[in-house]
Amino acid sequence: MSVELVNVSRSIDGVAAIRDVTLKLERGTLSVLLGPTLSGKTSIMRLLAGLDKPTSGHVLVDGKDVTGADVRKRSVAMVYQQFINYPSLTVYENIASPLRVQRKPKNEIEKRVQEAARLLKLEPYLGRTPSQLSGGQQQRTAIARALVKGADLVLLDEPLANLDYKLREELRTELPRIFEASGAIFVYATSEPSEALLLGGRTVCMWEGEVLQVGATPLVYRHPDTIRVAQVFSDPPLNIVGIEKKNGSVQYAGGIQAPAGGLYAGLADGAYRVGFRAHQLEVANGIPGRHAFHATVTVTEITGSESFVHLNRDDSNWVAVLQGVHEYQPGHVLDAVLDPDNVFVFDAAGRVVASPNPVAFSSEVPSGSRVENASTRNT
């Protein structure tokens, strides 16, 4: 099975929610819709499900035009940010409910409910009602009900957003296994780059109703086409500084000048913007070949394994993520150090003209992500 959006646009009260999107989804794949709030993720899901009709363009299923076809005629299941279960039914009956609507035989219902419960580790809770479950167990019940339906297309609209940190991390690690075992088309919406990296698959990077870039998740993360894609796929936010390349040297905004080494060496003379993620910014002194900037600490956030150091330099706000505990106080002045081989360089139009090679990124990928495994498969 395949589902395809062809030149699809949708406007609501004259405001464009989706702009000229073309996207094809194949059976057995996971596509992550990544973008901030109001980027169009939910709008695309509603179009895929048949809940909304596009203003222009077409929706195809296996090459057949189903634009405007009733959602009840499509093989679709959807899980929302707010987990929805029937409060008076047990977990077993919640999961079984779509099969009872389909009038499946009793033995088939039993088999499929038990399989879904086993997959989502719900077997001990089948006799409980939702009020007796934790948030994570309730969301797993909603996912199990979507899976047991046997839908060809499963849409998950930020399903973990309302769970606490521990439950989110637990389900994030379980979901790739669940997706792989199901074989359906999965579409997962999130605003969190780390979630996209953990899930792997393919990322559809979105901004204000437009699809900016589509590709294997690690490839889009490591090689964004534009500054906007790099910004969407960066958390903390992408650090940016202006430069001018001239006569073999680089002049940074704010007065720092350095030889044009690293990625700068191959640039034509002119003005550019340099982007670098928080993991690419170091705090150190005297490293040969690195470019150092005096910066003032505004806030330090310590998570335990990492410290997020917020810096102000020449009216620009940067963030550095450092391993371990670093107790820099507000007002402390330090050297923020940048490796010119480990940055993105953008032209005046925001297109990437130079970026690090994959090896340079190996230490920059956030810990716990599935990028390394995914890159083995897809890059």
Residue 89: strand, helix, or coil = coil
Query: What confidence tens digit (pLDDT) does each residue in 144-174 have?
Result: 898 888 888 999 998 887 777 777 777 777 7
Q: What is the mean pLDDT of the chain?
A: 88
Instruction: Summarize pLDDT for 174-212 with one digit per residue, the tens.
Output: 788 777 777 789 999 999 999 999 898 999 999 999 999
Query: Residues 290, 343: contact at Cβ < 8 Å?
Result: no
Q: What is the pLDDT of residue 72?
A: 77
Measured between alpha carbons, how far is 77 from 254 in angstroms, rounded to an integer?
A: 53
Which pLDDT value is given to residue 360? 42
Average pLDDT score over residue span 58-87: 87
Residue pair 368/200 in contact by the 8 Å Cβ criterion: no
Q: Which domains does the chain have, with CATH numbers?
A: 2-227 (3.40.50.300), 230-354 (2.40.50.140)
Q: In the prediction, which pLDDT does 238 show?
A: 97
Whether residue 244 is predicted with pLDDT greater than 60 in this model: the reply is yes
- Residue 285 pLDDT level (bands cut at 50, 70, 90): low
246: Cβ–Cβ under 8 A, 6 or more apart, which residues?
269
- The number of CA neighbours under 13 Å toward the Cβ of 326 is 20
